[in-house]
Structure 1
């Protein structure tokens, strides 16, 4: 709440949210887990680990599919807690948590990405997807949380301007909105 209050007087910064518990809901986590199992996703990318709740669902799915998760978190303080959470959930062997700016930490992401979870600073969604797009496998899925936030607008415009590449459906309007996008090429 403290971090969100700062947003009234100025634009929020990542450090404003260093203590904020920002996570997907249990229903979202179960949906993503089931989706990854059904699709047999192995190469999984996450933007925005926070304390690692969503990453645990990804790691649990990777454990079942023989896959691996690369996740990112900008704040070192959150990363330390996330790493402990992974250990407690017995999924740490399936997760590579990279600390720092995702534009830098994901540059060497592997080819044949099956799934991306976008749940970080919305203004980075577009540059991240443009950077990772050449590494997407045909049929890869992009789960975008908080799609209704204004920072997501450039991402939406990019996706909508390329209907030959991306097919999107809205999953929910609640909790900031969620979309699931399939990469068609």
Structure 2
């Protein structure tokens, strides 16, 4: 088990919010995550967020590449946003652009960022990511794709196709849900990515844009 003293992100204020969110992770026992016919608005109180070890990796990657502009789909209650925003801040400044379709979660995510002292480093866009992420305002260094599961074409596949042209060479993309059509896209050499599956949280796909 990794203790807070051995985690790469060492800001006590940020870690306090992360610890609270991790402890409050709520999953409906009558609704397995594998379910596909769900409405995200029915889950406004549930933060299906990344695991802390995935957050550690986000922070390390973003620090390592000196990221100043990152993007995520979907923000949920802001767990992943905290890691990316802390990294951007610690790199000297920048912006995390998040997209979240559930208004209640947008409000909660913004409050969590404010509590952690990171509100100035994140822009949460409310709405459908296929619209909100079409213009990211410049080249992006890192992207997290961890949105709602659904039938193919998955939202992950649709979003990566929107984001990919806006990524700089050397940018990383992390995916949590391993949607088959997303994997097919990033593993096709014609699309300019290299990808590997990491043994984090049941399988985390890490990709780098090389062309």
Aligned residues of 1:166 and 1:182 also touching (Cα < 8 A): yes
Question: Could you say which residue in structure 1 is the equivalent of 2:204?
Answer: 178
1:9-158 map, 5 Å: 11-65=37-91, 66-122=93-149, 123-147=154-178, 152-158=179-185
SS of equivalent to 1:146: coil
Aligned residues of 1:4 and 1:16 also touching (Cα < 8 A): no
Aligned residues of 1:114 and 1:136 also touching (Cα < 8 A): yes
For normalisation by structure 1, the TM-score amounts to 0.89
Cα distance per residue 1:30-86 (max 9 Å; x no partner): 121111111101110011111111101111011112221000111001111111000
Aligned residues of 1:32 and 1:58 also touching (Cα < 8 A): yes
Q: Which runs of 5+ in 1 are unaligned?
A: none
1-10 or 129-138: bigger deviation: 1-10
Cα distance per residue 1:131-181 (max 9 Å; x no partner): 12111100110011121xxxx111111122225611001111x53420110
Shift of 1:4: 5.5
RMSD of aligned residue pairs (Cα, Å): 2.0
Distance 1:20-1:139 versus aligned 2 partners, 3 A rule? same
